[in-house]
Amino acid sequence: MATPLTEQKSVATRRDSPAVSPAQVAEFRPQLPDWQVVQEDGMPRLKRTFKFPDFAQALTFTQKLGEVAEKEGHHPRIVLEWGSVEVTWWTHVIRNLHVNDYVCAAKTDRLYRGA
């Protein structure tokens, strides 16, 4: 079995970095059942909304996610609202999804679960 996404580290990407393959997407999907691949501005992106009982907990999650993103060197779009945080991962430089996006999505899930 491959290394779980939460145990992997983001790597630096360049314009010629490979997008995820269909085989990789199939392999990663069971680890990220709550994420959707959406098309925005002609690019696929991983998106999920996380629910919270109030603004303070949503803000705390957002702050902790920012720390994870800094550690990984990969940064999502984060939309904070009362009781929810929408997180979108994609790799700007390749205008596609990269393994990094799946790694960071899995780490976002882990943060949400409090693991």
Amino acid (one-letter) located at 114: G
Rounded-to-integer distance, Cα 75 and Cα 89, Å: 7
Contact between 59 and 43 under an 8 Å Cβ cutoff? The reply is: no
99 contact partners, CB below 8 Å, separation of at least 6? 8, 11, 20, 24
Contact between 90 and 74 under an 8 Å Cβ cutoff? The reply is: no
Indicate whether this model's pTM tops 0.85.
yes
- pLDDT for the residue numbered 48: 98
Percent of the chain with pLDDT over 90: 94
Q: What is the pLDDT of residues 96-106, one digit of tens each?
A: 999 999 999 99
Q: What mean pLDDT value characterizes the chain?
A: 95
22-113 CATH choice from 3.90.1170.30, 3.40.50.970, 3.90.50.10, 3.30.1360.20: 3.30.1360.20
Q: What is the pLDDT of residues 16-53, one digit of tens each?
A: 999 999 999 999 999 999 999 999 999 999 999 999 99
Q: Which two tokens stand for residue 97?
A: 């999804």
Q: Give the start-to-end residue ranges of the domains of the chain.
A: 22-113
